[in-house]
Amino acid sequence: MRILFTNYEYPPLGGGGGVVNAWLAEELAKKHDVTVLTSQAPDIPFERIEKGVRVLRVPVLGRDQKAVASMTSMASYIPNGIREGRKLLRREKFDIINTHFVVPTGPVGDALSHFAHIPNVLSLHGGDVYDPSKFTSPHRHMPLRMSVRWLLNRADVVVGQSKNTINNMRVFYTHQVY
């Protein structure tokens, strides 16, 4: 099976969600062909193989810290990820896309899934759907809430890291879980 992961963060960039994605990608790469489409930062090459996983990094604006993504870098990942992902999908065939984080990666996985007519599994990590400690949490803003609901409903499968994450998805966005 050929698997394409989309995630705005992937080690050494980001935190827990990227690490979980890396663990999953590395395990799947033992039996499958795995590619990750993620963000680039200074001093990190565009393409390399890491533990059997092909990692492709797209340029983003404003990524000056490895541990934390800026709003600018997350926003610029969306059009750059879609553009580079479409180029990739014109050259190569994948069987499935696994998108990590509905915000900000959701639009990338959704666009690529519909462009190539392949299923999209959307993985929720928690803070991408509900984080009461942050003003920027999507549940607080109607346009973001509507966008998240739309992306959740368009995904072929939605999975969450915990029952709490799935419950928050149901409370704030949609009851549909596939």
Asked if the model's pLDDT at residue 178 lies above 70, the reply is: no
As a whole number, mean pLDDT of residues 167-176 equals: 85
**176 pLDDT band (50/70/90 cuts)?**
low
* Structural domains counted in the chain: 1
pLDDT in tens, 73-130: 999 999 999 999 999 999 999 999 999 999 999 999 999 999 999 999 999 998 888 8
Q: Which domain holds residue 70?
A: 2-126
117 domain-assigned: yes
The strand pair at 47-50 and 53-58 is best described as: antiparallel
Question: What is the rounded average pLDDT of the residues 147-162?
Answer: 94
Model pLDDT, residue 132: 87
Asked if residue 147 belongs to a domain, the reply is no
Q: Is residue 152 part of a domain?
A: no
pTM of the model: 0.94
Q: Which of 123, 115, 125 is nearest to 151 (CA)?
A: 123
Predicted local distance difference test score (pLDDT) of residue 137: 87
**pLDDT score of 177:** 62
Helix (H, G, I), strand (E, B) or coil at 5: strand
Which CATH number goes with the domain that contains 51? Answer: 3.40.50.2000
pLDDT of residue 127: 86
Whether 101 is in a domain gets the answer: yes
- Token pair, residue 169, equals 């998805």
Q: For residue 24, what is the enclosing H or E element?
A: helix 16-28
pLDDT (tens digit, 9 = 90+) per residue, 39-80? 999 889 999 999 999 999 999 999 888 888 888 999 999 999
**What pLDDT shows up at residue 147?**
94
Q: How high is the pLDDT of residue 20?
A: 96
Question: What are the two backbone dihedrals, phi and then psi, of residue 69, each rounded to the nearest 5 degrees?
Answer: -90, 140
The tokens 């995904």 sit on which residue?
155
Residue with tokens 């983003």: 60
Q: Is 1 helix (H, G, I), strand (E, B) or coil?
A: coil
| 172 in a structural domain | no
Does residue 9 lie in a domain region? yes
Quick one: pLDDT at residue 85? Answer: 99
- Is residue 115 a part of any domain in this protein? yes
Cα separations in angstroms, 62 against 72, 88, 102: 6, 24, 21
- Strands 96-100 and 120-124, how do they pair? parallel
Residue 143 lies in a domain: no
